[in-house]
Chain A
Amino acid sequence: MSTRIRVLIAKPGLDGHDRGAKVLARALRDAGMEVIYTGIRRTPEEIVEAAIQEDVDLIGLSILSGAHKKLCQKILNLLKEKEADIPVILGGIIPEEDIPELKEMGIIEIFTPGASLKEIIEKVKDIAMGRKV
Chain B
Amino acid sequence: MFEREKIHVIEKSKKEWEEKKVERTLSRFPERKKEFVTSYEDEIERLYTPLDIKNLDYIKDLGFPGEYPFTRGVQPTMYRGKLWTMRQYAGFGSAEESNKRYKYLLEQGQTGLSIAFDLPTQIGFDSDDPMSEGEVGKVGVAIDSLKDMEILFDGIPLDKVSVSMTINSTAMILLAMLMTVAKKQGVPYEKLRGTIQNDILKEYMARGTYIFPPKESMKLIVDIFDYGSKNLPKFNLISISGYHIREAGANAVQEIAFTLADGIAYVEAAVKAGLDPNEFGTNLSFFFNAHNNFLEEVAKFRAARKLWARIMKERFGVTNESAMKLKFHTQTAGSTLTAQQPLNNIIRVTIQALAAVLGGTQSLHTNSYDEALGLPTEQSVTVALRTQQIIAHEMGVSETVDALAGSFAIEKLTLDIEEKAQKYLEKIDEIGGMVNAIEAGYPQKEILNSAYKAQQRIENKEQIIVGVNEYNSDKTEKIDILKVDEEQEEKQIEKLKNLKNQRNNSKTEESLTRLKKAATNGDNLFPYIIECVENYSTVGEITNILKEVYGEYRESTTI
Name A's B-contacting residues (CB within 8 A).
Answer: 13-19, 22-23, 25-27, 29, 35, 37-41, 43, 65-71, 74, 93, 95-97, 112-114, 116-118
Contact = CB atoms under 8 A, between A and B. Distances in A.
Nearest to B554: A39
B399 interface: no
Contacts of B134: 13, 66-71
B44 interface: no
Nearest to B447: A19
A14 B247 contact: no
Interface stretch (B451-459, B499-507, B521-529): B451-459
- Top 8 nearest A-B pairs (CB, nearest first) are A16-B208, A70-B134, A67-B134, A14-B119, A66-B138, A39-B557, A113-B339, A25-B559
Contact of A23 (B249, B374, B554): B249
A43 B129 CA distance: 13
The secondary-structure label for the interface of chain B is loop
Nearest to B335: A19
B160 to A, nearest CB: 33
Given A37-B559, A39-B554, A65 B208 contact: no
21 contacts: A14-B119, A14-B122, A14-B132, A14-B209, A15-B135, A16-B209, A17-B248, A19-B247, A19-B248, A23-B451, A29-B559, A39-B557, A65-B138, A65-B139, A66-B484, A67-B138, A95-B374, A97-B481, A112-B339, A113-B337, A118-B459
A117 B138 contact: no
Contacts of B559: 22, 25-26, 29, 35, 37
A15 B119 contact: yes
Given A23-B452, A26-B452, A17 B468 contact: no
B455 A117 contact: yes
Contacts of A93: 339, 372-374
Contact of B459 (A29, A66, A70, A117): A117
Interface string B464-504: 01001100000000000101100000000000000000000
B216 interface: no
Contacts of B119: 13-15, 65
Interface residues of B, number: 45
Contact of A17 (B247, B337, B339): B247
Contacts of B340: 114
Contacts of A65: 119, 135, 138-139
Select the residue from A16, A97, A116, A118 with max chain B CB neighbours within 10 A: A16
A11 B224 CA distance: 31
Given A22-B448, A38-B557, A93-B372, 13 more contacts: A13-B135, A14-B125, A17-B208, A39-B555, A65-B138, A66-B134, A67-B133, A67-B138, A96-B373, A97-B481, A113-B337, A113-B338, A114-B468
Contacts of A117: 455, 459
Contacts of A118: 459
B139 A43 contact: no
A91 B104 CA distance: 33
B354 to A, nearest CB: 24
Contacts of B131: 14, 43
B207 interface: yes
B339 A15 contact: no
B123 interface: yes
Nearest to A97: B481
Contact of B135 (A18, A25, A67): A67
Contact of A14 (B120, B459, B555): B120
A15 B132 CA distance: 11
B203 interface: yes
Interface in B407-454: 448, 451-452
Contacts of B337: 113
Contacts of B138: 65-67
A95 B372 CA distance: 9
Contacts of A13: 119, 134-135
A41 B206 CA distance: 13
Contacts of A29: 559
Contacts of A23: 249, 448, 451-452, 455
Contacts of A67: 133-135, 138
A17 B207 contact: yes
Contacts of A35: 559
Given A13-B134, A23-B452, A66-B138, A113 B372 contact: yes
B557 A95 contact: no
Contacts of B452: 23, 26-27
A133 to B, nearest CB: 28
B139 A95 contact: no
A14 B138 CA distance: 11
Contacts of A70: 133-134
Nearest to B340: A114
B316 to A, nearest CB: 31
Nearest to A71: B134
B35 to A, nearest CB: 21
Nearest to A70: B134
Q: Which of A13, A15, A19 counts the most chain B CB atoms within 10 A? A: A19
A122 to B, nearest CB: 12
Nearest to A73: B134
Interface string B369-387: 0001111000000000000
Contact of A41 (B208, B374, B458, B465): B208
Nearest to B483: A95
Contacts of B248: 17-19
B367 to A, nearest CB: 13
